[in-house]
Amino acid sequence: MHTVLAGGVGAARYLRGALEAFDPTEVTAVVNVGDDVMLHGLRVCPDLDTCTYTLAGAIDPERGWGLVDESWQAMAELGRYGGENWFSLGDRDLGTHLFRTQRLDAGASLTEVTAEITSAWGLQCRLLPVSDDPVETRVTLADGDEINFQEYFVRLQHDVAVSSVRFDGVDAARPTDAAIAAIDEATTLVIAPSNPIVSIGPVLAVPGVRERVEARRDRNVAVSPIVGGKALKGPADRMLRELGEEPTVVGVARRYRDLAATLVVDEVDAVLVPEIEAAGMRAIAMPTIMSEPGVAPALARACHEAGGTP
């Protein structure tokens, strides 16, 4: 089994490559739930949905989030009323949230609902929320205000400085049995190229997860989300700097060295391999920018081999 600790876009692209490289039924993602949010009564799970829509080939290629062939009638009406509509929910996408909310209200677990959703899209891999319990990533801004992650990420377009991040509710959250098994039983466990602080961070913060991952460190491989000192997408580089870490592959290595033996970095960072190794991780430099065809499956294969041969 090829198991991936996953956030949103970067993880989804990695997983798409893994589905091409391996038997899809052998691919499992353990997905962040810290950016889940209740909006207007609906349970919205952006990372699970980004993975689902991407793997189903239904993600909007231009926006990079949400569904293709989307319309925005509900949001237009919400705007007419002066309602809060900074988080855009497309009409098709709303169908997902309506279904999830309906099933959760009927007593299904998030794990069960997610399996129903991925099955309806024809996915053969498994997407497992790390926990069925609510966890809320909260961000304290430099001015002292603490806000929900989506308010930071979407409403403020992450264009503000952050002083700290915490995961509300995480101490009471339990990882699911399926997520723990997927970590324990993986041939290779990959930490996807997602934001280390707000995508991978909440997965690891669920009690028991970090210990399980560390216990099998030698068969774990992380893929750096930082390329040439920048995040390919999102605020990972700025967040690392604002929280006092180095926004380079070396900073990533310092964050991940207890979790994985190997760090895969982009070829543009090959020059930093000695520094990564000095920080305590084996390093592989290769193409990691997955917008190029063929890169993601090759990356998945390389990770799998690196994990299988520590």
Which two structure tokens, joined as six digits, stand for 100? 């999830």
Q: What angle do CA 222, 163, 10 make, to 5 degrees?
A: 30
Q: How far is the CB of 71 from its own copies (least distance, A)?
A: 6
d(CA 37, CA 136): 8
Residue 112 or 218 having the CB closest to its own copies: 112
Q: Which two tokens stand for residue 40?
A: 């207007």
Please state the closest distance from residue 156 (CB atom) to its own copies, in A: 19
Pick the closest to residue 304 from 128, 186, 181, 127 (CA basis): 186
CA separation, residue 258 to residues 41, 153, 163, 166, 279 (Å): 39, 28, 24, 20, 11
Residue with smaller CB distance to its own copies, 38 or 161: 38
Task: Determine which residue in the list 101, 109, 140, 163 makes contact with its own copies, applying CB under 8 A.
Answer: 101
82 touches its own copies (CB under 8 A): yes
Considering only CA atoms, which of 45, 15, 10 is closest in space to residue 29? 15
Interface segment toward its own copies; rule CB under 8 A; list 97-105, 146-154, 161-169, 245-253: 97-105
**Six-digit token pair at 15?**
């997983």
37: number of CA atoms within 13 Å, CB side? Answer: 20
Minimum CB distance to its own copies, residue 99 (Å): 4
Contact region with its own copies (CB under 8 A), list: 100-108, 127-135, 159-167, 227-235: 100-108
Site string for its own copies, 20-59 (x = CB under 8 A): -------------------xxxxx----------------
Q: Does 116 bind its own copies (CB under 8 A)?
A: yes
For its own copies, the binding residues (CB under 8 A) are 39-43, 70-71, 73-84, 89-96, 98-99, 101-103, 105, 116-117, 120
